[in-house]
Amino acid sequence: MPSTARRDHVPTGGIWTWLKAALLPWLAVWAGAAEPAREILVVRPDLPPFAEVAAALGRELGPRYRLSELLVGAEGGRTRIGELRPAVVVALDNQGLAESRAVAPGLPVLAAMGLGLRQESRNGGGVDYEVAPFTVLTRFQGNVAAPLGRVLAPCWADAKEDLELAAHQLSRAGISLEPVVLAKDGDPPTNTAAALARWLLTVEKSGAHAVLVPADNRLVNLRTLPDWRAAARRLKIPLLTTTEALVDRNLGLCAFAATPDPEGIAAQLAAQVQAVVEDGRPPAALGFEPPVTVRVVLDRMLLRRLGLGVREP
């Protein structure tokens, strides 16, 4: 560090000696002897959750990295970014990803906190926003004293493949996840709602231990909410989700949610940034990974009504 080096070279005589002592450390930085901070650009909307992740990312990366932020739609931002030479762009939210393509074309991009980023980010990497079924169900198993041998997962046809992968992961944990395809592209919303309502009536006799409510607004929306709520009142098994808003005492719907932890997302992004910058790995080689660290939200009253106890740490 230049400042430390200056203290080590206390000038003892003459202006030339003083100048050498003051300037040599800076020349060393210029010559590459000391490592300058790596520049990282975060492109994000000007909203609290994204600011929280950006701040945590800065803390995770530490002083060897310098974070600059571009807020989506900020006036003059693109001009200022032109002066930076970021090693990696971190795009938060779909808007951040779109903006990053405009301001920093050709640079490696890591994306997070958006929907459908895998599809949207061609040859990219980053962190998914949706918590994986493996994480939801194993965290439920860790937090709630309940059997969890068989779980049903209603889904749209295009989600079946992902759920089959999740079923494979969960099989190693002794949990059987069964995807139930209720609708496909082209189905009218009324048919989807009717199929869901019919299926929910069959759950009670299925022998399942829980239902994984999908984070899919084609299946969970204002039209289908009454059927979900009726099922939650009728069923003797918990509904589990990745959406915190669905664990609401007034709603009376889901008993448990595992949602992404902002600090955890930042930690995963920091590891990916380091892999790109320090190990030279392209974002595409890293791919997208689901959140590892999650926040757990429980409706204790609902769990008690279902006869399920919460394991205290």
Residue 311 found at the interface with other proteins (CB under 8 A): no
The bridge status of strand 239-241 relative to strand 88-92 is unpaired
- Of 57, 87, 54, nearest to 69 by C-alpha is 54
Residue 134 found at the interface with other proteins (CB under 8 A): yes
Using CB under 8 A, pick the residue from 68, 95, 206, 293 that binds other proteins: 293
How many other C-beta atoms lie within 10 A of the C-beta of residue 233? 10
Residue 206 found at the interface with other proteins (CB under 8 A): no
How many other C-beta atoms lie within 10 A of the C-beta of residue 167? 19
Residue 313 found at the interface with other proteins (CB under 8 A): yes
Tell me how many degrees the CA angle 39-43-44 measures, rounded to the nearest 5.
140
Using CB under 8 A, pick the residue from 132, 211, 219, 276 that binds other proteins: 132
Min. distance of Cβ 132 from other proteins in angstroms? 6
Size of the site for other proteins (CB under 8 A): 24
Using CB under 8 A, pick the residue from 20, 59, 85, 233 that binds other proteins: 59
Residue 52 found at the interface with other proteins (CB under 8 A): no
Q: How many whole angstroms separate alpha carbon 307 and alpha carbon 107? A: 53
Min. distance of Cβ 209 from other proteins in angstroms? 16
Using CB under 8 A, pick the residue from 169, 176, 227, 251 that binds other proteins: 169
Report how far apart, in Å, the C-alpha atoms of 76 and of each of 10, 42, 80, 103, 136 are: 44, 16, 7, 11, 42
- Of 201, 223, 147, 209, nearest to 178 by C-alpha is 209
Residue 290 found at the interface with other proteins (CB under 8 A): yes
The residues of the shown chain that bind other proteins, judged by CB under 8 A, are: 59-60, 62, 132, 134-135, 138, 142, 169, 172-174, 263-264, 267, 271, 274-275, 279, 289-290, 292-293, 313
